[in-house]
């Protein structure tokens, strides 16, 4: 579930059906109260209503609509970003619910851990060592793979930041600016191999 109105997502170049938007295998339920990503639903994950503070949504009961053709060129959800003040605590909570860390690395004082969740990647970011805050993990944002990053940039114009090289070799990325009207942090990436197999 994500905040912001269907009209705001439509203005960012997404094809919206009612209060939902299907990108690849992922269905975004739009218009949730709050800001940004507010909850998730993962098939095949064992019980409970949250994972280290990440709220769960009730899964949709209707049959999933086919993936749409989006004016911004979005093909799939590349990754969902989660932040934590204590990465190992959040990793343990995710592992306890059946997810498996697939790749980890440390860059400077930041620790990155990646999980495969369906066709997308869960990217967990936090300090290399717990920073003393006891706050739970939180959703940060979404990155979508697009067919042609330059075409996406042309469509969105000033609403999109500069297209630059991504951390993944051979890929490029650009971030939607706050002026685009979404409280959800959104990035668009060129096609290519993801961070984990």
pLDDT tens per residue, the chain (197 residues)? 999 999 999 999 999 999 999 999 999 999 988 999 999 988 767 556 789 999 987 665 555 566 789 999 999 999 999 999 999 999 999 999 889 999 999 999 999 999 999 889 999 999 999 888 889 999 999 999 999 999 999 999 999 999 999 988 899 999 999 999 999 999 999 998 655 65
- Dihedral pair phi/psi, residue 33, rounded to 5°: -70, 145
pTM, rounded to two decimals: 0.91
Please state the separation of Cα 57 from the chain's center in Å.
15
Q: Do residues 123 and 167 lie in contact, with contact meaning Cβ atoms separated by under 8 Å? A: no
Give alpha helix (H) positions in 34-104.
87-96
Neighbour tally for 157: CB within 10 Å: 8
Residue 112 and residue 121: Cα distance in Å, rounded? 12
- CATH number, domain 6-189, options 3.90.1150.10, 3.40.718.10, 3.10.180.10, 3.40.50.300: 3.10.180.10
Structural element, H or E, at residue 153: helix 149-156
């Amino acid at each position: 579930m994500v905040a912001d109105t269907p009209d705001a997502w439509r203005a960012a170049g997404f094809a919206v059906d009612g209060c939902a938007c299907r990108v690849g295998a992922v269905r975004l339920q739009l218009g949730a109260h709050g800001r940004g990503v507010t909850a998730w639903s993962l098939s095949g994950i064992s019980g409970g209503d949250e994972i280290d503070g990440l709220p769960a949504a009730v899964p949709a009961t209707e049959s999933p609509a086919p993936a749409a053709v989006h004016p911004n060129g979005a093909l799939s959800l590349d990754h969902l970003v989660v932040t934590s003040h204590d990465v190992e605590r959040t990793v343990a909570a995710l592992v306890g619910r059946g997810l498996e860390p697939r790749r980890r690395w440390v860059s400077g004082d930041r620790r990155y851990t990646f999980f495969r969740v369906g066709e997308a990647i869960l990217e967990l970011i936090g300090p290399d060592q717990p920073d003393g805050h006891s706050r739970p993990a939180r959703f940060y944002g979404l990155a979508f793979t697009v067919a042609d990053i330059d075409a996406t940039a042309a469509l969105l114009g000033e609403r999109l930041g500069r297209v630059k090289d991504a951390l993944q070799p051979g890929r490029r990325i650009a971030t939607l600016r706050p002026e685009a009207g979404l409280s959800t942090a959104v990035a668009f990436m060129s096609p290519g191999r993801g961070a984990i197999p």
